[in-house]
Amino acid sequence: MKADSCSTDCGKILRVAEQLCEGRGARLTPQRRQVLEILCTSGEPLGAYDILELLKSGVPTAKPPTVYRALEFLLEHGLVHRIESLNAYVGCVHLDHPHSSQFLICRDCGEVRELESRSVERTLGSAVKECGFKADSRVIEVTGRCQRCSQRGQA
């Protein structure tokens, strides 16, 4: 499983995350920062227990509530996304502005790519509003085959 969400420089993501938290009066504690760093360097979506195992290498006393609290904070501040269909998390590459989540998930290799299509966001927003529905979150997950896997299948 490859996650395109952190193909951007992890150091840059961590710096932006720290600035955002500071600007919001929120604390990016060392453990929250470590969880974000784990997601940025993993190269794949990770479940909470996968994160816990990686966190334990630096914090041997870490327990599941530590990870879940960190993930809750990171989700609340838009620093990570939850991939519902995989029950896993990825770091966000668009930290500098709020957006709805759009993901392409390859069923063959597991790559997850985060998109940002303003037209999809507008269309979904209009449809939701038309129905009189009040959305708590707007996440779109599209499952299929990435370009690389599609090309391999044709060869």
Facing residues of 87 across strands? none
Crossing angle (nearest 10°) for helices 30-42 and 10-24: 150
116 is known to lie in a ligand binding site: no
149 is known to lie in a ligand binding site: yes
SS (H, E, C) the chain: CCEHHHCCCHHHHHHHHHHHHHHHCCCCCHHHHHHHHHHHHHCCCECHHHHHHHHHCCCCCCCHHHHHHHHHHHHHCCCEEEEHHHCEEEECCCCCCCCCEEEEEECCCCCEEEECCHHHHHHHHHHHHHCCCCCCCCEEEEEECCHHHHHHHHC
146 is known to lie in a ligand binding site: yes
121 is known to lie in a ligand binding site: yes
131 is known to lie in a ligand binding site: no
Residue ranges for the known binding site for Zn(2+) are: 106, 109, 146, 149
Residue ranges for the known binding site are: 106, 109, 121, 146, 149
Residue ranges for the known binding site for Fe cation are: 121
